[in-house]
Chains A and B, each alone.
Chain A
């Protein structure tokens, strides 16, 4: 294992985050704060508690997931796409670095940035609403697993994209709608039939539900199912990344 290479890529990506701290950290924090102002204070005060949890507190896990998914994908996709765009990817491809090491470096850094962001959003949320944390270890597990999974998804998008537009298409047209419809701001039990059944096809439901359970002990689906589905997404992403490196798709001619 070329640990120095993993460290080099990881450090390089983290340095990029420091350079773009406004875009990477401050901007999502401001957006999340605005969500609290709108949904938590303005609208939330008119909504009853959900499962015994005040609405402002109820939406916190969903908001964290919203940012976590978006930022994991954005960080990882840009991290690998930009070297492809500038041509500097040649030095990674010609170095004694395996595909596993490349992914650990790029996706690992993207996941780290997202987890840091998630923690910052939690701290920000605590300023607005009270928070409970019944299962902290499970919270960390869901946070890290989701960040890792969607960083891999971002990595795949960064490899697939052949322009900046494509880099935005999947997050904008697929991930954001799925996140909004995945119970970030409501419990899917509040949906009328058959929409609750339809919502179960949205993978984000399982992530948000499991994550929310770790805070308040309430969930739309069984936490075991949530964990299992998260593991399935992770495995599927890993399989696609493995295929990319095996075939050299968009990396090697």
Chain B
């Protein structure tokens, strides 16, 4: 899989003196779904703004499919579709006119067939003659996606695409994004819904205070930073963890009825089997057991929290 976006040493300091990005190096692979995670003010939107040509980088270079965004800006921008974070739409235009406008901005002749397919895919076809001001918030969000897709981009930036939309619509959007990827598009999304990244992303980048903390395949990230919890429901409550189990990473519930063993997902030395053998040797009986794995959200919080 080759790279479609190459970001090299990109920094951004605003005229106010605030440094939003500090030497970002990142590559996005062609055809992947990349989730960029970070707390508010981390620099996600600034980075997207720079790639899309809205914000000027203080230093560094960005290439989109081999085109420099400064020297060969026209070719670079023609490949990109952007769905902004805010619901920024016209009020009085019709749905059809606004998507046609966007397609025109990208230098493409009218293509009613394509626009119809985009609007149908986003359940907006019935609203094509409606004024934008009459649409609900969820519809406006979909309209922004339709506008971003009007010129058939190869790279789609979704800045908080599902903020403020209901659960059903969110799942519809996830399906749409999957279909876009299946059609060959590269999707970069920022989101506060870690569940979204966990559900969809191939790779995850975590940005905090303008620095890229890490970039990993999602599965590797889960494996590398994730932890697992094995919980035992005890037949007889314990007052304290028995001395025989000292040295193991254990939590005993307040009522003494549940003993939880927390272990690193990467750790192969301390196996679950060994632990259960020790529990049995210690004469502890249990009536039930359950296992949970840390979510991407847990990992994200653990990565970002120390630097706060």
Inter-chain contact B107/A96, CB cutoff 8 Å: yes
Contacts of B100 in A (CB 8 A): 8
A252 with B56: in contact, given A87-B88, A91-B147, A94-B80 (CB under 8 Å)? yes
Inter-chain contact B104/A7, CB cutoff 8 Å: yes
Inter-chain contact A19/B77, CB cutoff 8 Å: no
Interface of A is mostly: helix
Chain A positions 146-177 with a Cβ under 8 Å from a chain B Cβ: none
Inter-chain contact A87/B105, CB cutoff 8 Å: no
Inter-chain contact A248/B104, CB cutoff 8 Å: no
Contacts of A96 in B (CB 8 A): 73-75, 77-78, 105-107
Cβ of A239 under 8 Å from chain B: no
* CA–CA, A9 and B90, complex, Å: 13
- Would you give the shortest CB distance from A250 to chain B, in whole angstroms? 12
Contacts of A97 in B (CB 8 A): 105
Most chain A C-beta atoms within 10 Å of own C-beta, residue among B101, B104, B147:
B104
Which of A8, A87, A248 sits near B86, CB closer than 8 Å? A87
A4 with B88: in contact, given A91-B147, A253-B55 (CB under 8 Å)? no
Inter-chain contact B107/A90, CB cutoff 8 Å: no
- Beta-carbon nearest neighbor of A83 in chain B: B90
Chain A positions 3-17 with a Cβ under 8 Å from a chain B Cβ: 3-5, 7-9, 11-12, 15-16
Which of B82, B92, B108 sits near A91, CB closer than 8 Å? B82
Cβ of B97 under 8 Å from chain A: yes
Contacts of B103 in A (CB 8 A): 8
- Beta-carbon nearest neighbor of A251 in chain B: B54
* CA–CA, A15 and B147, complex, Å: 18
A5 with B106: in contact, given A12-B101, A86-B88, A95-B77 (CB under 8 Å)? yes
A8 with B90: in contact, given A93-B54, A252-B54, A253-B56 (CB under 8 Å)? no
Cβ of A191 under 8 Å from chain B: no
Contacts of B78 in A (CB 8 A): 96
- Would you give the shortest CB distance from A154 to chain B, in whole angstroms? 20
What does the 1/0 interface line of B100-140 toward A look like (CB < 8 Å)?
A: 11111111110000000000000000000000000000000
Inter-chain contact B54/A4, CB cutoff 8 Å: no
* CA–CA, A5 and B82, complex, Å: 17
Inter-chain contact B84/A87, CB cutoff 8 Å: yes
Q: By the criterion of a CB under 8 Å from any partner CB, how many residues of chain B are at the interface? A: 35
* CA–CA, A87 and B88, complex, Å: 5
What does the 1/0 interface line of A62-100 toward B look like (CB < 8 Å)?
A: 000000000000000000000000111011111111100
Contacts of B147 in A (CB 8 A): 91
B contact set with A: CB distance below 8 Å:
14-15, 49, 52-56, 73-75, 77-78, 80, 82, 84, 86, 88-93, 97, 100-109, 147
Contacts of B49 in A (CB 8 A): 253
- Would you give the shortest CB distance from B211 to chain A, in whole angstroms? 20
Cβ of A31 under 8 Å from chain B: no
- Would you give the shortest CB distance from A253 to chain B, in whole angstroms? 5
Inter-chain contact A5/B84, CB cutoff 8 Å: no
Can you list 19 residue pairs at the A/B interface with Cβ under 8 Å? Answer: A4-B104, A4-B109, A7-B104, A8-B103, A8-B104, A86-B90, A88-B88, A88-B89, A88-B90, A90-B54, A91-B105, A92-B105, A94-B54, A95-B77, A95-B105, A96-B78, A253-B14, A253-B49, A253-B56
Contacts of A12 in B (CB 8 A): 93, 97, 101
* CA–CA, A96 and B56, complex, Å: 15
- Beta-carbon nearest neighbor of A252 in chain B: B56
Inter-chain contact B101/A8, CB cutoff 8 Å: yes
Contacts of A91 in B (CB 8 A): 82, 102, 105, 147
- Would you give the shortest CB distance from A244 to chain B, in whole angstroms? 14
Contacts of A86 in B (CB 8 A): 88-91
